[in-house]
Amino acid sequence: MISVRDLNVRFGPSVAVSNVSFDVATGESFGLVGESGSGKSTILRTMMGLNTDWSGTISIDGLDTSTTHRRDLARRVQMVFQDPYASLHPRYAIGQAIAEPLHINGVANAERRTVELLELIGLGDKFRFRFPHELSGGQRQRVAIARALALEPKILLLDEPTSALDVSIQAEILNLLNQLRSEAWTDLCHCQP
Ligand SMILES: Nc1ncnc2c1ncn2[C@@H]1O[C@H](COP(=O)(O)OP(=O)(O)O)[C@@H](O)[C@H]1O
Ligand SMILES: [Mg+2]
């Protein structure tokens, strides 16, 4: 599902990622571990097309990311960033934030789908009209996860999704991710002949 080969990423004269290769199979959970500043976020951001100065090959679901249109990748891979406060637009109500990728990609019934996504992350319809500053950190990260799941991507890249949250909330988010993953895996198994 993911194949990264000989990835090198530079920021001006400095090398942030040097010769990284790894593969992730369908249905697999893969953890990228390394000390702070070792390049984990840079690898994920490069996979999402958010860095320009890189070499090597990144293939996602068989597609070469350097020659595939952003829109085609958006349905395959989405990312949840470390800090949900920074990744949600402060003037977008939660419902708008979740519906935005649906609108951009011309998905029908965006409103119904938004309500379904709010249910899925355990927040419910009433959160649709609230703004990010009216939510707790854990609730905001749930919204970021719902937004990332809106287009039903095959791959979810999670960049330390709990590290900006209180310890008491971290388990809540990890439980949600485990639950989503087992549901997705069940769906996947049903699809096989
Ligand atoms: N936008 C950027 N401009 C310049 N240097 C950056 C940028 N983003 C990350 N870096 C540098 O790249 C290296 C890897 O950073 P990062 O990928 O954030 O590490 P990690 O996520 O493992 O903590 C660090 O040395 C960091 O300072
Ligand atoms: Mg990081």
Q: Where are the domains of the chain?
A: 1-68, 69-193
CATH superfamily of 1-68: P-loop containing nucleotide triphosphate hydrolases (3.40.50.300)
Give the model's confidence band at 192: pLDDT under 50 very low, under 70 low, under 90 confident, else very high.
very low
Nearest to 152 by CA among 88, 70, 77: 77
41 CB under 6 A from ligand 1?
A: yes
The protein residue whose alpha carbon is closest to atom 12 in ligand 1 is 16
Domain 69-193, CATH class in plain words: alpha beta
The protein residue whose alpha carbon is closest to atom 11 in ligand 1 is 16
pTM exceeds cut of 0.85: yes
Instruction: Tell me the CA end-to-end span of the chain in Å, nearest whole number.
Output: 19
The answer to whether 1-68 and 69-193 have equal CATH topology is yes
The CA 131 to ligand 2 mean position distance, Å, reads 26
40 CB under 6 A from ligand 1?
A: yes
- Model pLDDT for residues 101-158, shown as the tens digit of each residue: 999 989 999 999 999 999 988 898 999 999 999 999 889 999 999 999 999 899 999 9
46 CB under 6 A from ligand 1?
A: no
- Model pLDDT for residues 35-74, shown as the tens digit of each residue: 999 999 999 999 999 999 999 999 999 999 999 998 889 8
CA 75, 68, 80, 133 dihedral sign is: negative
